[in-house]
Amino acid sequence: MTDFWRPAGAGVASVLAGVGAAELVSAFVVQNGSPILTVGSLVIDLAPPWLKEAVISVFGTGDKAFLIVSLAVVVVLGAGLAGWLESIRPPVGRILIGIGGAVGVLAALTRSGNGIVDAVPSALAAVIAILVLGALIRMLRDTEPTRVAPSGRVSRRRFVGTTAATAAGGALALVIGQAVANGFRTASAARAAIRLPQPAQTAAPIPAGASFDIPGLSPIVTPNADFYRIDTALQIPGIDPHDWRLRITGMVEQEVELTFAELLKLPLEESTTTLTCVSNEIGGDLIGNATWLGYPIRHLLARARPSADADMVLSTSQDGWTASTPLTALTDERNAILAVGMNGTPLPLEHGYPVRMVVPGLYGYVSATKWVVSLEVTRFDKHTSYWTDRGWSERGPVKLSSRIDVPAAGRQVKAGTVAVAGVAWSQHVGVSAVHVSVDDGPWQEATLADAISPDTWRQWRYAWDAAPGAHTLRVRATDAKGLVQTSTVRDVVPDGATGLHTVQVTVV
Ligand SMILES: Nc1nc2c(c(=O)[nH]1)N[C@H]1C(S)=C(S)[C@@H](COP(=O)(O)O)O[C@H]1N2
Ligand SMILES: [Mo]
């Protein structure tokens, strides 16, 4: 093949397809693995200071744009070269692309705070580009005349059309990926700049006696980084707080609209509340306890004045997820809040930044709307919500439950006194007792740590005199109203699991 432009075009189209797909994947899955920006950052790190200064003095604040454009030029030239080389000396073109991909992977792995996943988009870009280039060059070969097919087996026009379509698809994916990632970056930057106001009312202090010092026992307050995350969001909504609005509409006398700045000026209150997912299996870890900073929803609803026959509030997130919460749970004296802070920081993006709902006593699927933007006052017989449309119960009060954290299931422990410990919860009612049974023996009373409030879980411990052999430990909680946790085993669908957490351990 003596042609230059056609194979060079195939090279550029292949790389566009690869990079486009990778940008899309990085925006939706990895969050910060954009191959273009990763390599760009590496270039910034490696560039000698004189070059950086020269670029800044010429381009000023356009220095980043200059970097991206230069990078794009280098990539396009390299891709064209790879296409041409592939047409005259396969697989040299594909090897060149592989080297480009390796630079991306290396750049991703050497950024501080990055892990293996961050290298996935660059690797993916290279793999896709190599496959596409192989296919396009094969197609190009088939356009050449042979003895049996004097005008080639594939028309040139078809090759050009396929190459153009590949390039266009890649470019589109790249633009979409960048747009999505940009929203996320804007939100992250805005979050970093936020100073949360001092609470007008601080949380009930966490008593020193609320925590036992037992390795492996869940900390009484769950650090944000360890807090379970459950949502339907493939891409975490990137909301600029300047654009955020909450609208209260529906069966109200007065519609209410609130900006983020207005929300922060209201007297915010701190409260510690344990959040649980209805999908939490017995013994599961879809539960966490945090100190939230927020504004009581009941005050906002009082401004809106719901009509007397309303019984539900349909909350909607920016990405269209909905929850149906009993109106009374938002207007009674419990601490149902619009939260802006979590354990002393603005809400993490994945936990609903800038604003989410937290309602003590209800499972998340009927109450804890993250990225919340609207509250529609309505009726249960008029509207359903995301999970109630999918077979989950209309009402979702949290069920009394308990969990053994230590010893962990399957663990070997030394004979003698063994600390058995865990957590128990019945949000908005409170836990009054926990009992442990060894090998189906009598229920022994465990020691409870101090309660923070009825809205939070409670640690417990039991000193077990363990003899060698295989043993079964079981836990059972009693709530503040005297209800004893049931041993009846029920699945999480439709309104939360029941049963007793049981672990097997070996004592040696
Ligand atoms: N926007 C939105 N909010 C949501 C959800 C969701 O899918 N989308 N899931 C809910 C469910 S089922 C639970 S259990 C809690 C989990 O909150 P977390 O991820 O902060 O722990 O969020 C709730 N809020
Ligand atoms: Mo959930």
Residues 390-399: tens digit of each pLDDT: 999 999 999 9
Q: What are the residues whose beta carbons fall under 8 Å from the beta carbon of 459, sequence distance 6 or more? A: 210, 211, 212, 217, 218, 220, 421, 422, 423, 448, 449
Select from 228, 230, 367 the residue to mutate for testing ligand 1; criterion: most ligand atoms less than 8 Å from CB: 230
CA 444 to ligand 1 center in whole angstroms: 36
CA 232 to ligand 2 center in whole angstroms: 10
Tell me the H-state helices in 48-155.
Answer: 49-59, 63-88, 92-110, 120-141
Q: Quick one: CA dihedral 41, 47, 53, 59, positive or negative?
A: negative
Nearest CA to ligand 1 atom 4: 369
Contact between residue 105 and residue 26 where contact means Cβ atoms under 8 Å apart: no
**Ligand 1 atom nearest to 319, measured from its CA:** 1
CA 63 to ligand 2 center in whole angstroms: 45
Nearest ligand atom owner, CA of 367: 1
Q: What was the pLDDT predicted at 234? A: 64
CA 275 to ligand 2 center in whole angstroms: 9
Three-state secondary structure string covering 142-156: CCCCCCCCCCCCCCH
The Cα 441–Cα 438 span in angstroms is 5
Q: Is the pTM of this model over 0.85?
A: no
Select from 227, 229, 231 the residue to mutate for testing ligand 1; criterion: most ligand atoms less than 8 Å from CB: 231
Going by C-alpha positions, the residue among 332, 372, 194, 341 that lies closest to residue 269 is: 341
Contact between residue 489 and residue 405 where contact means Cβ atoms under 8 Å apart: no
Q: Which residues pair with 416 in a beta bridge?
A: 466
pLDDT 10s digit of each residue in the chain, 508 long? Answer: 558 999 999 999 999 999 999 988 888 776 656 777 778 878 877 877 788 777 777 777 677 778 888 888 999 999 999 999 999 999 999 999 999 999 989 988 887 666 788 888 899 999 999 999 999 999 999 998 887 777 788 898 999 999 999 999 999 999 988 888 878 878 888 898 999 999 999 988 899 999 999 999 999 999 999 999 999 876 678 898 999 999 999 999 999 999 999 999 999 999 999 999 999 999 999 999 999 999 999 999 999 999 999 999 999 999 899 999 999 999 999 999 999 999 999 999 999 999 999 999 999 999 999 999 999 999 999 999 999 999 999 999 999 999 999 999 999 999 999 999 999 999 999 999 999 999 999 999 999 999 999 999 999 999 999 999 999 999 999 999 999 999 999 999 999 999 999 999 999 9
The Cα 207–Cα 272 span in angstroms is 12
Burial category of 483 from C-beta neighbours within 10 Å (exposed 0-12, middle 13-18, buried 19 and up): middle
Give residue-wise pLDDT tens across range 307-357: 999 999 999 999 899 999 999 999 999 999 999 999 999 999 999 999 999
Owner of token pair 């609130």: 258
Q: Quick one: CA dihedral 146, 147, 152, 153, positive or negative?
A: negative
First to last CA, the chain: 75
Name every protein residue with a CB atom under 6 angstroms from any ligand 1 atom.
227-233, 275, 277, 317, 321, 351, 364-365, 368-371
Long-range contacts of 102-107 (CB under 8 A, 24+ apart): 102/126, 103/39, 103/42, 104/35, 104/38, 104/39, 106/42, 107/38, 107/39, 107/41, 107/42
Contact between residue 76 and residue 115 where contact means Cβ atoms under 8 Å apart: no
Q: What are the residues whose beta carbons fall under 8 Å from the beta carbon of 278, sequence distance 6 or more? A: 363, 364, 365, 387, 392, 396, 492, 495, 496
**Ligand 1 atom nearest to 277, measured from its CA:** 14
Following DSSP, what letter does each residue of 358-408 receive, concatenated? E-TTB-GGGT--TTEEEEEEE-TTT---TTGGGT--S--BPPPEEEEEESP
Q: What was the pLDDT predicted at 31? A: 61
**Ligand 1 atom nearest to 370, measured from its CA:** 3
Neighbours of 400 (CB within 10 A): 24
Q: Do domains 208-390 and 401-507 have the same CATH topology?
A: no
The Cα 52–Cα 34 span in angstroms is 22
CA 449 to ligand 1 center in whole angstroms: 28
Query: Distances from the Cα of 53 to the Cαs of 40, 44, 59, 73, in angstroms?
Result: 16, 11, 10, 21
**Is the domain covering 401-507 a CATH 3.90.25.10 domain?**
no
Check residue 493 and report its DSSP letter: T
Going by C-alpha positions, the residue among 251, 457, 237, 271 that lies closest to residue 355 is: 237
Nearest CA to ligand 1 atom 9: 231
Please name the fold of domain 208-390. Answer: Sulfite Oxidase; Chain A, domain 2 (3.90.420)
CA 397 to ligand 1 center in whole angstroms: 15
Q: Which residues pair with 438 in a beta bridge?
A: 473
For the chain, give every domain's residue range: 5-181, 208-390, 401-507
Neighbours of 264 (CB within 10 A): 18
Q: Which residues pair with 317 in a beta bridge?
A: 372
**Ligand 1 atom nearest to 275, measured from its CA:** 21
CA 379 to ligand 1 center in whole angstroms: 22
Nearest CA to ligand 1 atom 12: 365
